[in-house]
Each structure stands twice: as structure tokens, then as C-alpha cells.
Amino acid sequence: MPTLPHDHRRVAESFGVDVERYDRTRPPYPDELIDRIVTESPGPDLLDVGAGTGIEARQFRARGCTVLGVEPDARMAGVARAGGLEVDVARFEDWDPAGRRFDAVVSGQAWHWVDPVAGAELAGQVLRPGGLIALFWHVFLPPSTVGEAFADAYARVAPDSPVDLRATPARPQDMYRPVLDRAADGLRGTGAFARPEEWRVTTERTYTTAEWVDLLPTQGLMTRLPADAVAEVSAAVGAAIDALGGRFTLPFDTVALTARRR
């Protein structure tokens, strides 16, 4: 039975079910983080692993970088290409770099879908000496009443799901710690990288009921549910946000795991 995120390929490659919604609702990354990655990279040639619809790639391109994306879902890659980005359609572990080398390897909200050992090995191969790998995630949890409404509704519509949302950690950093640790272990295991570091940028984001409910179906737990189940979960979550006054503000951490190629 699959035990790690990258083993769940049906989920990993399900985000293209509604590419327009994904590209419209998924939040970009803080300017402070993007600028730091560009500054720390020894050059402008970037490889974006799990490029999706090109959200972070567009941010890097706006800062003068040349970006090649690798994305397993052709639907997602199609949106990125329509935005003028170059994308190879492949799982990163299976991707052939064809001798290409890069100054930085980046991955936004996607490295947990990559085998942390095979992915780190390939990243080490395609990075130039002194190159940077930067793997980053948004780390946040909605208010407890909203999270509880989601967990209860999801348990009703997906009673056979192996994921028990009611056991979600109280702190978002606890939820993401295993992801960061696995990624760091993968980098260390190659022997190709200097000691990994963590960078953190904290901002705030405010969501209305409509905005959060619009974002909700793009989450991995929702992308493979039938439409009536999505509607039931969305209604329960929307009612919980309405009870808070129709909006909420939450701390929005973005955490990056970085390392330098020896």
C-alpha cells in the first residue's frame, strides 16, 4: 500500500481536472522569497519541478530568469505553455535532461509528489557546481471551526478515505515537518549538497467565503471526488466561514528548503 505522497500517483496527477480554477485560485509566492532565490542563484537558468500551470515560473520569469518546467500532467503543462513557458511533460524521476544544466532547481508546492531520493539525485546531476536547490511550500491552516467543518463533511462523503482529517495537527508547521524532513534527508543522502537550510517568509492572507470555497476543489483530497461530494463539502465549509462573518485572515507562512550544490 502506498504510504508516502509520491506513491499516490492518481492524486499527484489529478490537479489538472480544473486547470482554470487551479491557476486562478492558487496563491503566488511571496516576493521576498522569490527575490532571495534569484539573488542566491549563481545564474538565471532555472528548472521548475512540478511546474503546474506556471504560477512560480511566471514570477521567476518576471525577474529575468529563463525557466524550463517539468510537469507530469499535460493539462497543467498546456496552461503554462499558453502563458509562454517552456514545459517538458514527464515525471521528474523519469525526465531526461538531455545534457542540460541549470543554475537553480526550484519546486513550489510540488516536491512531496517527487520521490525524495531519486529526485534529489537527479537535481544534483542537473545543477551546475554552486547551483541552488529551493523547494518551497505554503504552510497554513484555516480557523479551527472551518477545518472541523471540512473534516466532518469529508468523512461523510469519503468514508473509505485512508486520511483522517480529524487528526490534523493543531499547528501547520507540525503538519509540514515530515515533508521537510524527508526532502532534507533526500538531499543529504546524495552527498552532492551542502547542509540544507530553511528559509521562512510570513505574510497574511484574507479569504472571503466565496474565495475559499473557490480554492477548495483544487486541494488534493478534493480533486478526485464526484461533483455532488465536492458540493456537499463546499457547502459545509462555506457555512462555517459565514458563521465567522463571511471572511477570515490567517498567517500564511511560506517555507523553503534550500541547499547549495557542492
Domains of the chain with bracketed CATH: 5-141+170-205+251-260 (3.40.50.150)
* Sign of the Cα pseudo-torsion (238, 239, 243, 246, in order): positive
pTM of the model: 0.95
H-assigned helices in the chain: 9-12, 19-25, 31-40, 55-61, 74-82, 116-126, 144-157, 172-190, 209-215, 227-243
Residue 53: the pLDDT is 98
Give the residue among 36, 59, 126 at the shortest CA–CA distance from 88.
126
Alpha helix locations (H) across 71-199?
74-82, 116-126, 144-157, 172-190
d(CA 164, CA 162): 6
- CB half-sphere exposure, 199, CA atoms < 13 A: 18
**CA geometry: angle 139, 141, 145, nearest 5 deg:** 180
Ranges in the chain, pLDDT < 70: 1-3, 7, 168-170
Position 244, amino acid: L
> What pLDDT is recorded for position 1?
37
Please report the pLDDT score of residue 3 as a whole number: 61
d(CA 33, CA 256): 8
| pLDDT confidence of residue 121 | 98
